[in-house]
Amino acid sequence: MAAAGVPHTPAFPELANRPEGTDIRERYAAVAHVLDAARPDVLCVFTSDHINTFFLDNWPNLAVIAADEVSGPLDEVPGVARTRIPVHADLAAHLYETCVRRDFDPALVLDAAVDHSVVVPLHFLNANRPLPIVPIHVNGMIAPLPGPRRCLQLGAAVADGIRTFSPRLRVAVVASGSFSLEVGGPAVHAGATYGVPRPDWAARVLSHLRYGRHAALAAETTPRLLAEAGTVAGELLSWLGMLGAAEGLKLAHLDYREGEGHGFVAWRE
Amino acid sequence: MASSPGASDIRGLRAAYTVNRLCHRLHRDPDLVRRLREGPERALADWPLTAEDRRLLLTGDIAALYGRGAHPVLLVRIAALSLFGVTADDYSRRIRTAGRRGGAPRAPTDA
């Protein structure tokens, strides 16, 4: 019924509280406006854990968090205190069951703390009238990553689960992350611990989103391209999950500035 | 065609498992961070690191730790917390000298 994708840069919440943060505040607010207008009951949040919730002792390629609540952020998000976020546990369990029935095999998670990849989008999109969430993790950090077409199909399975849940709920789907972003790897900018190695790829992703070419986007998302686009460029896969769940919605808002590795996008019925 | 984005580096992640584990603990264990600030050598004493990993951590050799298999999203937490004397600026300078694992190109030489 509505969908959105935004960046989850940990510095943005604090920036948005300062006078010079008007711009970033407004960019998120434009997306929040589309979601709010759809009057959702629940936000289904596609996310890529940054090796915080999960570790290499048991790394899930996909996971559905079906606890009663999660706490977060468990990492550093300046200006955002750690809090408890309610989860719609019954819907989450149904989405998990639907995914397994449709030949996806996510990890089932009944106890979790989440990081900035969940907390930052909610800080901006779920502030006015906090809604319960369903977090769905799509591995964007540790290769081999799930296939891009498979992520679209995962989203379709999630949409099927949303449709078949009783009682009928209004569920908006949200993704977060960047399309080109190097965190901590050799392609960082001089003097920084991050970089945007392939802004041209981010521009290409946004162009596909503008014209609804989701299958073409999935087809172009190759291993080599993601490796070049940065150490967390796999966050695009959580967007593909969201896009699969949002199939049939219309583009309502798209905000991309040349040179950036991310975008602010929203869809409505 | 199989579609699996990103160069797989499981061998590296395994080789540097304890370094990766240490970096993962930093967000969950403020006491560990405090002890690493007060006396890094002593704080690492209980960790089953190889002698080489221990030396690379204590000397802040970021490029070598990355080369051995430390995941960049984990390794960068050393800079975020300024551990082992590594500032964000040091981290940036050092990681940019590393070749990317998996063969993708490294940063353009813009500085």
List, for residues A180-210, the tens digit of each pLDDT value. 999 999 999 999 999 999 999 999 999 999 9
The pLDDT assigned to B110 comes to: 37
B109 close contact with A: CB closer than 8 A: no
**pLDDT by 10s per residue, chain B, length 111:** 333 444 568 889 999 999 999 999 999 999 999 999 999 999 999 999 999 999 999 999 999 999 999 999 999 999 999 999 999 999 999 999 998 765 444 444 433
Handedness of CA A180, A185, A190, A194 (dihedral sign): positive
The pLDDT assigned to A129 comes to: 75
φ/ψ (deg, to 5) at A177: 135, 175
- Cβ neighbours, 10 Å, residue B109: 7
The pLDDT assigned to A57 comes to: 97
Residue A16 one-letter amino acid? A
Closest CA to A243 of A104, A149, A161: A149
- Contact between A120 and A8 under an 8 Å Cβ cutoff? The reply is yes
Domain spans, chain A: 2-268
B88 close contact with A: CB closer than 8 A: yes
- Look at A148 and B5 and tell me if their CB atoms are within 8 Å: yes
Q: How far is CA A6 from CA A27, A117, A135, A193, in A?
A: 9, 10, 15, 21
Domain for residue B106, yes or no? no
A220 close contact with B: CB closer than 8 A: no
Domain for residue B5, yes or no? no
List all residues of chain A from 248 to 267 with a beta carbon under 8 Å from chain B. none
Q: Kindly give, in sequence order, each residue whose CB lies less than 8 Å from that of residue B9, ignoring residues fewer than 6 positions away.
A: A143, B69, B101, B102
A269 close contact with B: CB closer than 8 A: no
Q: CA triplet A256, A261, A265: central angle to 5 degrees?
A: 40
Instruction: Locate the chain B residue with the closest alpha carbon to A113.
Output: B28
Burial class (CB in 10 A: 0-12, 13-18, 19+), B41: exposed
Domain holding B83, by residue range, is 11-95
Cβ-based contacts under 8 A for chains A and B: 130
The pLDDT assigned to A130 comes to: 87
Domain for residue B2, yes or no? no
CATH of segment(s) A2-268: 3.40.830.10
**What's the gap in Å between the CA of A57 and the closest CA on chain B?**
9
The DSSP 8-state label assigned to residue A156 in this structure reads H
pLDDT, chain A, mean: 97
Most B CBs within 10 Å, among A231, A237, A238, A240, to test the B interface: A231
Rounded Cα distance between B9 and B94, Å, is 21
A247 close contact with B: CB closer than 8 A: no
Instruction: Locate the chain A residue with the closest alpha carbon to B64.
Output: A186
Checking ipTM against 0.90, whether it exceeds it is yes
B73 close contact with A: CB closer than 8 A: yes
The pLDDT assigned to A117 comes to: 97
The pLDDT assigned to B1 comes to: 32
**What's the gap in Å between the CA of B10 and the closest CA on chain A?**
8
Instruction: Work out how many domains chain B is built from and give that number.
Output: 1
Domain for residue B110, yes or no? no
- Contact between A74 and B28 under an 8 Å Cβ cutoff? The reply is yes
Q: Which of A51, A145, A187 sits opposite B73 (nearest CB)?
A: A51
- Look at A227 and B17 and tell me if their CB atoms are within 8 Å: no
Instruction: Locate the chain B residue with the closest alpha carbon to A148.
Output: B3
The pLDDT assigned to A155 comes to: 98
Rounded Cα distance between A221 and A217, Å, is 6
The pLDDT assigned to A241 comes to: 98
Domain for residue B55, yes or no? yes
Enumerate the residues of chain B whose CB falls inside 8 A of the CB of residue A74: 27-28
Q: CA triplet B97, B9, A203: central angle to 5 degrees?
A: 70
Q: Which residues of chain A have pLDDT under 70?
A: none
